[in-house]
Structure 1
């Protein structure tokens, strides 16, 4: 079973990353799904998304949970029946789940040059320190996206603009962490975010 990596940021929090090597059939054969999950997975048009969805259920098993232990609220935020906090992500052939006593968010993205095309949609302040000729430019853009997406999941306030409400202070890829802020309704919320790279992907996770 391709459990790729396990990280324990603190005593209350665990991150598990899965490398999706199995076929859809193999993932299905070893997964028990509740009826609404079955309907959801068979309604997906992309096998890549189907395999991502199923790999997350395998990660739940690694945590000692089943698909029936997971539910979603009206905003699509995942929850666990035992009250622990959870966040879920998948991108291409990697997926990840973070479980904690604290409110959390996680995101994985593939590092791709096309992110430069949409950078203006999610970056404002960060352009002050980003340099296009930096060898880590694509990696930094991807990290910023992952950081903001993980914070968006943690903050759980639908519709917040990454560009307007989120800012990430200057960092280097080798730092593997940075500070980010959410500036919303005249209040500032400060977070220390961890991130890592593997096989051309970036993963960031936020813990409240």
Structure 2
């Protein structure tokens, strides 16, 4: 997997983005025992298997850069991923073409990547509040930025049953902006976030800190 992008964000988190080129067999060989076979067996689609394995390969690579002995990851009851035997926070995202991972040694981090697609227009009223919907104006790049920013903040928080439309809000922005402001609300709790946005070959990538 050739490295496409590497970046330190806010002096606290590291982002790695790779292009997915390996076969499923090549990824399994490279990982050895560093993945959960039972979890992999639950994935039926061959492309999704590749993406899943590639994300574990990237986590292993990133962990080793930090001097972490990578022995795999586990997920909590909400599906949030954690390194085994290490307290660093990680977040994973993958598409058919790219795999990205962010790591933060001391605080939660969330990452998402999405390719611009007409489905974002068809479903926008489900994930945008009315003011956000008016601001987006059905414009593809803006919808993609909204979706990725909300998904990244959702993954940073790490708990299920949070409504993208009613509980995660992104402040108005320009398409050229590289930092968005977001807030997630869960009853009396408010989680503010800086969300860093990057673009790669028609894909929006967002990292929430």
Q: Same fold per TM (> 0.5)?
A: yes
Other structure's SS at 1:41 match: helix
**What is the CA deviation profile of residues 7-60 of structure 1, one whole-angstrom value per residue up to 9, with x for unaligned ones?**
1103321011111011112222211235x7123223321111111111112212
Matching residue of 2:208: 206
**What is the CA deviation profile of residues 109-139 of structure 1, one whole-angstrom value per residue up to 9, with x for unaligned ones?**
111112111111100130132223xxxx111
Query: How high is the TM-score relative to the length of structure 1?
Result: 0.90
The CA distance in 1 between the partners of 2:46 and 2:75, in whole Å, is 22
**What is the CA deviation profile of residues 73-124 of structure 1, one whole-angstrom value per residue up to 9, with x for unaligned ones?**
1211111221011111112121111110211111111111121111111001
Could you tell me which runs of 5 or more consecutive residues in structure 2 were left unpaired when the two chains were aligned. none
Matching residue of 1:53: 52
Runs of 4+ with deviation above 4 angstroms: none
The CA distance in 2 between the partners of 1:122 and 1:173, in whole Å, is 18
Other structure's SS at 1:116 match: helix
In the comparison of the two structures, how many residue pairs are matched? Answer: 202
Query: How high is the TM-score relative to the length of structure 2?
Result: 0.89
Check the 8 A contact 2:6/2:17 in 1, yes or no.
yes
Other structure's SS at 1:174 match: coil
The CA distance in 2 between the partners of 1:70 and 1:138, in whole Å, is 34
Q: Calculate the aligned-residue CA RMSD, in Å.
A: 1.7
The CA distance in 2 between the partners of 1:33 and 1:42, in whole Å, is 14
Matching residue of 1:72: 75
**What is the CA deviation profile of residues 115-171 of structure 1, one whole-angstrom value per residue up to 9, with x for unaligned ones?**
111111100130132223xxxx11111111111111111112210100001111111
The CA distance in 2 between the partners of 1:183 and 1:38, in whole Å, is 36
The CA distance in 1 between the partners of 2:69 and 2:142, in whole Å, is 35
